[in-house]
Structure 1
Amino acid sequence: MILADTSVWIDHMRRREPELVRQLQTGNVVMHPMVLGELACGNISNRSEHLRDWGLLPRVEEAAHEEVLSLIESRQFMGRGMGFVDMHLLCAAIGHGVQLWTRDVQLRAASVECGVSFTETA
């Protein structure tokens, strides 16, 4: 299973992302509540339709804040250009055994370090 972060969804809305379409068609994409929240904060076309469709995706549960803080400390992720939402996504990917798909350079590097990075096929 793959957890696509907000950057992947935004790119997909701007121009169709064939890899995301393939993964969606095979039922391999999960949604995190914070990604859904970030997307909902944006000005998106076909808003109701998108929010409905995203809401139908299987969800990964949020990690407890304490768990996220522990990840930051144990992996020394502080001061590396990632925010708390990024750390929540990474922690959820680790905890649920899913791959994290991101276009964010720092978050991708952290997901590689943790062994949960999704690599796009060409």
Structure 2
Amino acid sequence: MNVLVDSSVWVDHFKQKNDQLATLLRDHLVVCHPYIVMEVACGTPPNRRAIIEMLGELESTTLATTNEILSMLAGFRLYGRGCGLVDLSLFASVLLTDKVLLWTFDKRLEQVASERNKAYRPLLQS
């Protein structure tokens, strides 16, 4: 199972190394989305150019169209739940991409993904 790692997890990883994310990267299980690359690029990651390049080289999820996102929004009644366009675009991409889960520290997005069994929950570190 591959994992789409949300920018919230990346930002935390840049502040303090996340061993589980490092393991997923080592095992080539991390996929990306152009919006995550852009969100990270809007910030100040360490080794900025190398990080943005690395994210851009990861396998990408299927990109959801506007109509697919609108259909999902209405079909799953996701409006008014505190998730914005980027969040819902990522979630739609996870739904459209085979064998991918979403790892996020955003509580609302994590709840939405959990409801569809699409949330990645790393093991607790000992």
TM-score (norm: length of structure 2): 0.93
Q: Give the Cα separation in 2 of the matches to 1:45 and 1:25.
A: 19
Is 2:73 the counterpart of 1:67?
Answer: no
Q: Give the Cα separation in 1 of the matches to 2:110 and 2:50.
A: 29
Q: Which runs of 4+ in 1 moved over 3 A?
A: none
Give SS of 1:72's match.
helix
Q: Give the Cα separation in 1 of the matches to 2:55 and 2:14.
A: 13
Superposition deviation, residue 83 in structure 1: 0.3
Aligned to 1:35: 36
Aligned to 1:87: 88
Aligned to 2:105: 103
Give the fraction of aligned pairs with identical amino acids, expressed as a percent: 32
Residue type matched to 1:76 in 2? R
What runs of 5+ residues in structure 2 fail to find an aligned partner?
Answer: none
Q: Give the Cα separation in 2 of the matches to 1:85 and 1:95.
A: 15
Q: Give the Cα separation in 2 of the matches to 1:21 and 1:28.
A: 10
Contact between 1:30 and 1:58, CA under 8 Å: does it hold in 2? yes
Residue type matched to 1:100 in 2? L
Is 2:15 the counterpart of 1:14?
Answer: yes
Question: RMSD of the alignment, in Å?
Answer: 0.8
What runs of 5+ residues in structure 1 fail to find an aligned partner?
Answer: none
Contact between 1:62 and 1:92, CA under 8 Å: does it hold in 2? yes
Aligned to 2:56: 55
